[in-house]
């Protein structure tokens, strides 16, 4: 279980450019939970995602996984970023999914199947020849191959066409159901909220202003 207690973060603290991104955030994410983080641009969503992924040490409060600081549990969380091209480090799909691990072909194929890519077709394909949606799924496979307990996705549907959005939404739902991976989706778009999560949290100016069932939160947010 991931627990954030009174977490606050200030970028460039102690300089003229200091900017507070989070303030007093309390959050618990249970096993297999599907959480949606909503909020306008600059509300602190991405900072929260970085903290939960263990990539950023908050300057205030604590962020722990089963009582241990998040940054001290490598591999427990995985994150994919908005721009897939910044997460692909190897020329071919197979090499990229295996990157940073010592896994065999079976594990790589399994990860590709989980994200809906046929290994026999995609294993040897070059990553720069893939579409944006396919690149995003390769990045997702690269994150899943480590078998994280929580997957953090920053704007996973941004820039995808309608079929691409539907496909990725289905893949995420299946991952959560079959692999029991908890999922935290960060987005400013409520359109796909119902299909992505059961619970939603709304951030405004770095503070949590709502944390409830997705139906209640999205219903309130829409006019």
Partner 1 sequence: MSAPSREIHLLRYVPGHSYLHRMWAGTKLLAVVAIDIALVARPGWPAQAVVWVLALTAFFTSGVPATALPRPPRWFVLLVGLDCLLSIGSGGSPSIHLAGISIELGGMLEWWRITSLALLVLAMATLVAWTTPMAELTPAMSKLVTPLRWLRLPADEVVLAISLSVRCLPLLLEEFRVLQAARRMREPTLPQGLGGRIRYAHDVLVTALASSLRRAKEMAEAIEARGGAEGFTTEPVRLTGIDAAALAVVAVTVAAVALLG
Binding site for partner 1 (CB under 8 A): 11-12, 14-17, 50, 53-59, 63, 69-72, 74-75, 78-79, 81, 83, 85-89, 99-100, 128, 142-143, 146
Shortest Å distance, C-beta 103 to partner 1: 12
Cβ distance to partner 1 smaller for residue 12 or 162: 12
Cβ distance to partner 1 smaller for residue 14 or 106: 14
Helix/strand/coil (H, E, C) string of 4-21?
Answer: EEEEEEEECCCCCCCEEE
Shortest Å distance, C-beta 85 to partner 1: 6
Shortest Å distance, C-beta 37 to partner 1: 17
DSSP 126-168: BGGGS-HHHHHHHHHHHHHTT--SEEEEESTTTT--HHHHHHH
Cβ distance to partner 1 smaller for residue 78 or 130: 78
Shortest Å distance, C-beta 96 to partner 1: 9
Between the two ends of the chain, the Cα-to-Cα distance in Å is 34
Cβ distance to partner 1 smaller for residue 54 or 156: 54
Q: Give the integer Cα–Cα distance in Å for 86 and 137.
A: 13
What is Dmax (Cα atoms) for the chain?
54
Shortest Å distance, C-beta 214 to partner 1: 26
Cβ distance to partner 1 smaller for residue 100 or 215: 100
Query: What are the backbone angles phi and psi of residue 21, rounded to the nearest 5°?
Result: -110, -30
């Amino acid at each position: 279980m991931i627990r954030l207690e009174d977490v606050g973060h200030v970028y460039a603290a102690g300089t003229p450019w200091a900017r507070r991104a989070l303030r007093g955030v309390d959050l618990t994410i249970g096993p297999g939970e599907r959480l949606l983080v909503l909020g306008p641009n600059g509300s602190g969503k991405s900072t929260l995602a970085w903290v939960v992924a263990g990539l950023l040490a908050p300057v205030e409060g604590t962020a722990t996984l089963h009582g241990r600081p998040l940054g001290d549990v490598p591999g427990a969380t995985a994150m994919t970023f908005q721009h897939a091209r910044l997460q692909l480090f190897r020329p071919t799909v197979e090499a990229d999914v295996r990157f940073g691990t010592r896994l065999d072909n079976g594990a790589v194929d399994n990860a590709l199947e989980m994200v809906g890519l046929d290994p026999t077709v995609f294993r040897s394909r070059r990553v720069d020849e893939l579409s944006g949606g396919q690149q995003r799924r390769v990045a997702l496979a690269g994150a899943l191959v480590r078998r994280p307990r929580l997957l953090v996705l920053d704007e996973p549907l941004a820039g995808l066409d309608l079929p691409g959005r539907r496909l990725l939404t289905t893949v995420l739902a299946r991952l959560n159901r079959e692999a029991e991976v908890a999922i935290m989706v960060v987005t400013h778009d409520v359109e796909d909220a119902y299909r992505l999560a059961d619970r939603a949290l709304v951030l405004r100016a770095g503070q949590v202003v709502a944390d409830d069932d997705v139906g209640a939160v999205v219903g309130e947010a829409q006019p």
